[in-house]
């Protein structure tokens, strides 16, 4: 029944670690650490490389968010690099459906400002040096992976409508095949200008002027006034909690670390034996925790820029989690005959990367252009894909904190996370995948913290996801029939995804040095995408 497992790429180093969804980007980050750069330098270089080698997932035209640990200060903070709705957008111009395609779907990109801030304030190397590997990769090209080919194929009808995307991704009108070389000369040239003139050129220099010319020519909403309001990221307090004996440090609103926190708070009310994910009973507990938590998130939206929200701290409250737990127990009791007598089993869009350096600094970044290839349109002459974050707002309820208003920030599901043990960082991880982010992370954390699996196995193991709609997504041929039957008999509508599904997240993790791992950095990349982990020699 259970398929042969894919092996998660693993790497060990005594001097730092990078784990990302792109082998090339990971290599670049490790090289930056090896030449003396710190985690913030490496993160900047990795991000720009991901915009080249994983263009369907993130890039200069999107937004970035991170949980950061400054070792010298022993300080954690969340760096909120939310993009921003155009300031001149008027609610009276509100479309009936969320904007997903074309230049009207684009919010003000924040990624250049995010890394400009990170590099200027915490990095040690010049931006020009950090951009050089990405520029080389864009101009000389890299081999297309089977995953990228499949995503170009899936999006080809929309990509054909964009002259630059068509030329680069669909030469002769056909998607680049796996193994063929993807060259993005316009993107390389644009990053070269940023290296020479500074990241601010994206907003107030010649790059910004080209963006505005493109917006005006093709009916976009961004204006020169929008670009002049440079979206400098905000340092916010992290969201902190505990799971059993471990500390959990994750991303606050507008991200979704509170979803991960509520799931873990619920699970803490069960024994480690109860929530064995290889058993029908444990899997059902987790599925119900997912369902009820994601329902709560929809019912209790929280925007840190809007005050007097009654539900602001409810989702992370331990007392409230006990109420949800009792609800789960009642649901399980209803199906107890089905569940308790089953034999034990014997058997995006977004991207995330994690970086740690030898000095103890940590950066966990989740960044995105929202859906696959964002707005499906590139900035003409500049080469990057515009995001489509205008689709991530509320369009109907005017009282909703993420209602589409001028200058508002979109709702986000990111949850980059650091786990601590005895107040010291133990684990750094994160995932792409929209609302599947927190469900993917919680499954990995349960297997690692409760199941005592090593990080590579915890990341490799099968995953499922369910939301408040009772639709269950799971990896086919990787769960026992008993577990699948339990889900079906409890009312879940199962949809089987690929055995190692791109859809169900891509966890990039680093275990920090401690006695049990020989005081080494232990990096793991999720086999569900094209990633790798590597550290300096």
pLDDT on residue 344: 31
Question: What is the C-alpha to C-alpha distance for residues 512 and 153, in angstroms, rounded to an integer?
Answer: 39
Question: What is the C-alpha to C-alpha distance for residues 21 and 528, in angstroms, rounded to an integer?
Answer: 9
pLDDT on residue 335: 58
Find tokens 């915009």 and name the residue. 51
Is 279 assigned a ligand-binding role in the annotation?
Answer: no
Please say whether the beta carbons of 499 and 2 come within 8 A.
Answer: no
Alpha helices per DSSP H over 275-360: 280-299, 318-334, 336-340
Please list, in sequence order, all residues whose beta carbon lies within 8 angstroms of the beta carbon of residue 307, skipping any fewer than 6 positions away.
none
Q: What is the DSSP letter of 299?
A: H
Q: Label the pairing between strands 424-430 and 508-511.
A: antiparallel
399 belongs to the catalytic site? no
Please say whether the beta carbons of 10 and 534 come within 8 A.
Answer: no
Across the 537 residues of the chain, what is the mean pLDDT of every consecutive 10-residue run? 65 97 98 98 99 97 98 98 91 75 96 98 98 98 97 96 97 96 98 98 98 97 97 97 97 92 95 92 92 83 65 76 90 57 42 97 97 96 97 86 90 95 97 93 97 95 87 93 92 92 95 93 95 94
Alpha helices per DSSP H over 345-464: 436-445, 455-460
Tokens of 226: 């929008």
The whole-model pTM stands at 0.93
Is 456 assigned a ligand-binding role in the annotation?
Answer: no
- The string of DSSP letters for 371-398 reads STTTTS-B-TTT-PBPP-GGGGSBSS-T
Is 413 assigned a ligand-binding role in the annotation?
Answer: yes
pLDDT on residue 347: 29
Question: What is the C-alpha to C-alpha distance for residues 457 and 447, in angstroms, rounded to an integer?
Answer: 8
Interhelix angle 481-489/280-299, rounded to 10 degrees, is 40
Tokens of 122: 């915490």
pLDDT on residue 107: 97
- Out of 107, 350, 439, 486, the active site residue is 350
> Bridge-partner residues for 78, per DSSP?
67, 236
Question: What is the C-alpha to C-alpha distance for residues 376 and 374, in angstroms, rounded to an integer?
Answer: 5
pLDDT on residue 400: 85
> Bridge-partner residues for 351, per DSSP?
367
Burial state string for 324-341 with b = 16 or more CB within 10 A and e = fewer than 16? bbeebeebbeeeeebbee
Q: SS3 for 473?
A: strand
What would the 3-class secondary structure string for 148-211 be?
A: HHHHHHHHHHHHCCCHHHHHHHCHHHCCCCCCCEECCHHHHHHHHHHHHHCCCHHHHCHHHHHH
């Amino acid at each position: 029944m259970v398929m042969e497992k894919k092996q998660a790429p693993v790497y060990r180093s005594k001097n730092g670690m990078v784990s990302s969804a792109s082998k090339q980007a990971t290599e670049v980050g490790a090289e930056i650490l090896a030449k003396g750069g710190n985690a913030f330098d490496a993160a900047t270089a990795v991000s720009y490389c991901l915009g080249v080698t994983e263009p369907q997932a993130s890039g200069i035209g999107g937004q970035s968010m991170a949980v950061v640990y400054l070792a010298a200060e022993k300080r954690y903070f969340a760096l909120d690099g939310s993009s921003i709705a155009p300031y001149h957008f008027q609610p009276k111009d509100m479309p009936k459906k969320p904007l997903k395609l074309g230049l009207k779907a684009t919010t003000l990109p924040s990624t250049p400002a995010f890394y400009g801030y990170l590099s200027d304030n915490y990095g040690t190397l010049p931006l020009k040096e950090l951009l050089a590997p990405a520029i080389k990769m864009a101009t000389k090209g890299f081999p297309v992976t089977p995953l990228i080919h499949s995503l170009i194929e899936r999006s080809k009808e929309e990509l054909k409508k964009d002259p630059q995307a068509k030329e680069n991704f669909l030469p002769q009108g056909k998607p680049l095949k796996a193994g063929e070389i993807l060259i993005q000369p316009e993107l390389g040239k644009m990053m070269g200008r940023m290296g020479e003139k500074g990241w601010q050129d994206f907003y107030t220099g010649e790059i910004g002027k080209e963006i505005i010319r493109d917006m005006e020519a093709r009916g976009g909403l961004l204006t020169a006034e929008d670009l002049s309001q440079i979206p400098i990221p905000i340092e916010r307090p992290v969201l902190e909690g505990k799971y059993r004996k471990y500390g959990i440090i994750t991303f606050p609103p507008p991200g979704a670390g509170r979803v991960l926190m509520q799931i873990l708070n619920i699970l803490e009310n069960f024994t480690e034996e109860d929530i064995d994910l290889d058993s029908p009973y444990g899997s059902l507990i987790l599925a119900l925790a997912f369902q009820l938590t994601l329902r709560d998130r929809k019912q209790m939206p929280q925007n840190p820029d809007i005050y007097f929200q009654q539900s602001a701290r409810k989702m992370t409250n331990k007392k409230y989690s006990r109420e949800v737990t009792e609800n789960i127990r009642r649901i399980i009791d209803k199906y107890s005959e089905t569940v308790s007598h089953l034999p034990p089993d014997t058997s995006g869009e977004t991207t995330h990367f994690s970086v740690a350096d030898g000095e103890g600094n940590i950066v966990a970044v989740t960044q995105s252009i929202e859906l696959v290839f964002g707005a499906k349109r590139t900035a003409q002459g500049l080469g990057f894909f515009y995001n489509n974050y205008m689709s991530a707002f509320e369009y109907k309820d005017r009282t909703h904190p993420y209602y589409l208003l001028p200058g508002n920030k979109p709702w986000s599901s990111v949850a980059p996370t650091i786990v601590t043990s005895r107040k010291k960082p133990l684990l750094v991880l994160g995932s792409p995948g929209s609302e599947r982010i927190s469900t993917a992370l919680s499954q990995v954390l349960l297997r690692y913290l409760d199941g005592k699996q090593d990080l590579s196995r915890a990341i490799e193991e099968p995953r499922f996801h369910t939301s408040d709609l009772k639709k269950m997504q799971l990896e086919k041929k990787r769960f026992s029939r008993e577990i699948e039957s339990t889900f079906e008999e409890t009312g879940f509508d199962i949809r089987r995804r690929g055995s190692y599904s791109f859809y169900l997240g891509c966890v990039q993790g680093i275990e920090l040095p401690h006695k049990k791992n020989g005081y080494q950095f232990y990096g793991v990349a999720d086999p569900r995408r094209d990633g790798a982990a590597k550290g300096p020699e």
